[in-house]
Structure 1
Amino acid sequence: MENSEKRLTIKDLAEDDRPREKMERKGASSLSDAELIAILLRVGNANETAVDVAQRLLGQVNNSLNELARLNLHQLTRIKGIGRTKAITILAALELGRRRNAEGPINRERIFSSRSVIELFQPVLADLPHEEFWVLLLNK
């Protein structure tokens, strides 16, 4: 008896459920940790999508990115669906996050007047093709 079931791929998902398309439309903050990792993995394995592999990976580290960051290359490659290249990609992304954290905060502009606000926000908001409502919170 031949297995007529087709393996589910990312392309089989609704467009709103595909990590890359979702990120493009809604931004990186709209994705779950598993979806972000799935983008790094690019593809799954014979039986799972990249999202499935990423969810299983996170499940093995109690859904903790901090615990994931403690894994080494050998530990990652022991997980089904994660070979050397995928493990190196994950480790590189985690290292970028570490380095970003180590840099510390960006120097922030001091706001003294409404002119300061315009100078700060105009480059961000001036050319948007849609209207946005922003709130600026200031201390003293």
Structure 2
Amino acid sequence: MGKMRIRSWPKQDRPREKLKSLGRRSLTDAELIAILIGSGSKQESALALSKRILQAVDNDLQELAKLSDIEFCEFSGVGPAKAFSIIAALELGRRKRTMKFKEQPTLNSAKLVFEYFNYQFNDLQEEEFWVIYLNTACKVVDFKLIGRGGNDFTPVDIRTLLKYALTCQAHAVILTHNHPSGSLKASEMDLKLTHKIVQAARLMDIVVNDHIIFTNQHYYSFRDQGLL
């Protein structure tokens, strides 16, 4: 028996028709992905393909968002165009979270920093080192990617970090980086780098308010741990 194409389904069960008649929230994750994919193959429908993709990541959208275009294309029936459509949609969803704060927030605790900046590190498979620049009231002036590295350490140019602090007239900085492994333990390299940045920033009257390590669900604050 050949596959049953989506257009032969009852209208209320077709993803696009379901979206139109019942609204976006009525659709399952697989149905939303099927709309992005647009069409399946001779062997399976777009919805069946979408379910297969989701099953491969245990139906975890965070894990799905980590897949590269090459990894998506390993699924039979997915080519570069379909892969990029899915990746673009997931990236838009991630960026939407950045609009939560309509005005620059006051970041005077590690918890607030995590709530404000966690979206930046979600789904990453390599380390990134970002610096949040603050004014005297601890309000965000700007933030900047300073380094990107492997799985266990990110090279950081301290001169670039401080140069930008002077450019945006920041009074203080919050250092942030992620641990893709999920570990919340500060490494010896993390400790040494933090000490070097604190010493260099002090010469320019710039305060290092905290250094926070991010995982998808949790954080580790150097200040809360008495390391600053």
TM-score, normalization by structure 2: 0.44
**Mapped partners of 1:44, 1:6: distance in 2:** 13
- For each residue in 1:65-118, what CA deviation from the matched residue of structure 2 results, as whole angstroms up to 9, or x when unmatched? 1000000111010111111100000000011011101222558xxxxxxxxxxx
Aligned twin of 1:102: 98
Is 1:20 aligned to residue 16 of structure 2? yes
Gaps of 5+ in 1: 108-140
- For each residue in 1:32-59, what CA deviation from the matched residue of structure 2 results, as whole angstroms up to 9, or x when unmatched? 0000000000000111110000000000
Gaps of 5+ in 2: 104-228
Any idea what SS the aligned residue of 1:70 has? coil
**Mapped partners of 2:77, 2:97: distance in 1:** 29
Query: Quick check: which one's strand share is greater?
Result: 2
Aligned twin of 2:48: 52
Aligned twin of 1:35: 31
Distance 1:76 1:27, change over 3 A: same
Of all paired residues, the percent bearing the same amino acid is: 42
Q: How many residues align?
A: 103
Any idea what SS the aligned residue of 1:78 has? coil
What amino acid sits opposite 1:50 in the alignment? A
Aligned twin of 2:137: none
Query: Quick check: which one's helix share is greater?
Result: 1
Kindly report which structure 2 residues correspond to 1:89-128, keeping only aligned pairs within 5 A, or say none: 89-105=85-101
What amino acid sits opposite 1:73 in the alignment? D
**Mapped partners of 2:34, 2:73: distance in 1:** 15
**Mapped partners of 1:71, 1:14: distance in 2:** 33
What amino acid sits opposite 2:78 in the alignment? I
- 1:6 Cα deviation after fit: 4.2
TM-score, normalization by structure 1: 0.70
Aligned twin of 1:79: 75
**Mapped partners of 1:83, 1:6: distance in 2:** 22
Cα RMSD over matched residues?
A: 1.3
- 1:8 Cα deviation after fit: 1.4
Contact 2:2 2:43 in 1 (8 A): no
